[in-house]
């Protein structure tokens, strides 16, 4: 092959450039001199986890509805539970953002890979407990980080965790069938090693509120690795679920018609009758107890108070007249 002796610059031009560099007279803007640079760790996982966030949002929306109904049924607690913004963050950052005491449950969600976290804030536990014993849930100013849950509080946690597991299974049902089981439970996320500090996680937070107060939250933490096996399922389910509007409308109409036939229990309470132990022990069948109708009574549906009412009569029957709704307003 013939050697190419052609030069881009002559010897005189090269000598001139050398002199200019030595004297500092060589100026000019050059290429890409204004581009900022930053360090990149090649060992880090990409923050673009490839998971269909829309699918996770749908799962979260279903979960919060099932969770609210489950807490009302299990603990008579009407939690104003709302799904927050999905966050994709490092696991170490999440651990640093939490403050014990918490109920941090290392959870196996079959068939997802590895383990996930279901986290219950202490305020949720205390609110459920207050409500169970007839009190009003209130936001606590501070709780000692080293505080251990009492046996009664632990029993409430067991019920909340059971509702979470059942609600998760129902929320995931349109995508895949899952089964949740508890591996271990801690009071701090520091002891729950479901991922390395630099691993990416999907944080799903559901906040509770009441009367303008922050009443804690529950978190579901999916490590990126746990969702790898179901990414295609989530993606394909979203792509095929929105095309049949007629079928969706028909399903909704059938559901509403079925709800008309569902029996419910309506109870009116409000009569307060002081009675001594002696009077109670002397009661027998056929005895009459004079009562004074209350000015207002409480109307409950399936154990959940919904109205206040006035007690009276209509024709030959005792009747009530609805005064106002006492159902909590949706946020």
Instruction: Report the CATH number that the domain containing residue 89 is assigned in CATH.
Output: 3.40.1550.10
Same structural domain, 62 and 202:
yes
Same structural domain, 225 and 320:
no
Residues 6 or more apart whose Cβ sits within 8 Å of residue 285: none
- Is residue 13, in this structure, part of any structural domain at all? no
Measure the CA angle with vertex 248, ends 242 and 253; round to 5°.
Answer: 160
Task: Give the pLDDT score at 331.
Answer: 46
Same structural domain, 121 and 213:
yes
Structure tokens at 30: 């050059």
Mean pLDDT comparison of 129-133, 153-157, 206-210, 258-262, highest-scoring range: 153-157
Domain around 82: 53-140+148-239
Rounded distance, CA 137 to CA 152, Å? 16
Q: Please indicate whether residue 15 or residue 67 has the higher confidence score (pLDDT).
A: 67
Task: Give the pLDDT score at 46.
Answer: 43
The position carrying tokens 């990149």 is 40
- Is residue 173, in this structure, part of any structural domain at all? yes
Same structural domain, 235 and 271:
no
User: What b/e sequence results for 90-111 when a residue is b if at least 16 CB atoms lie within 10 Å of its CB, and e otherwise?
Assistant: bbeebbeebebbbbbbbbebee
How many domains does the chain contain in total? 2
Task: Give the pLDDT score at 203.
Answer: 96
Containing 321, the helix (H) or strand (E) segment is strand 317-325
Same structural domain, 194 and 297:
no
| Mean pLDDT of the 118-145 span | 82
Same structural domain, 127 and 161:
yes
Same structural domain, 269 and 222:
no
Q: How far is CA 109 from the centre of its chain?
A: 16
**Percent of the chain residues topping a pLDDT of 70:** 75
Task: Give the pLDDT score at 140.
Answer: 67
């Amino acid at each position: 092959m013939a050697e190419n002796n052609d030069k881009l610059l002559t010897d005189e031009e090269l000598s001139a450039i050398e002199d200019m560099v030595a004297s500092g007279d060589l100026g000019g803007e050059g290429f890409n001199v204004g581009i900022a640079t930053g360090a990149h760790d090649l060992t880090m996982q990409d923050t673009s986890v490839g998971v269909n966030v829309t699918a996770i949002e749908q799962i979260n929306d279903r979960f919060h509805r099932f969770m609210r109904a489950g807490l009302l049924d299990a603990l008579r607690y009407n939690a104003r539970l709302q799904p927050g913004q999905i966050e994709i963050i490092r696991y170490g950052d999440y651990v640093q953002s939490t403050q014990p005491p918490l109920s941090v449950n290392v959870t196996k969600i079959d068939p997802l890979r590895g383990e996930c976290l279901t986290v219950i804030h202490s305020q949720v536990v205390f609110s459920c407990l207050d409500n169970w014993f007839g009190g009003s849930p209130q936001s606590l100013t501070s709780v000692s980080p080293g505080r251990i849950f009492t046996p009664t509080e632990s029993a409430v946690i067991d019920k909340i965790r059971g509702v979470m597991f059942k609600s998760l299974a129902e929320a995931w049902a349109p995508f895949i069938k899952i089964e949740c089981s508890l591996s271990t439970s801690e009071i701090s996320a520091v002891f729950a090693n479901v991922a390395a500090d630099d691993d990416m996680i999907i944080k799903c937070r559901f906040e509770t509120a009441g009367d303008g107060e922050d009443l804690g939250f529950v978190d579901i933490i999916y490590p990126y690795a746990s969702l790898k096996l179901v990414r295609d399922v989530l993606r394909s389910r979203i792509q095929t679920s929105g095309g049949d509007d007629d079928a969706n409308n028909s399903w909704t109409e059938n559901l509403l018609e079925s709800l008309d036939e569902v029996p419910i229990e309506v109870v009116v309470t409000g009569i307060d009758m002081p009675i001594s132990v002696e009077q109670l022990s002397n009661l027998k069948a056929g005895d009459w107890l004079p009562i004074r109708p209350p000015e207002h009574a409480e109307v409950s549906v399936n154990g959940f108070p919904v109205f206040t009412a006035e007690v009276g009569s209509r024709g030959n029957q005792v009747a009530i007249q609805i005064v106002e709704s006492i159902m909590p307003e949706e946020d």
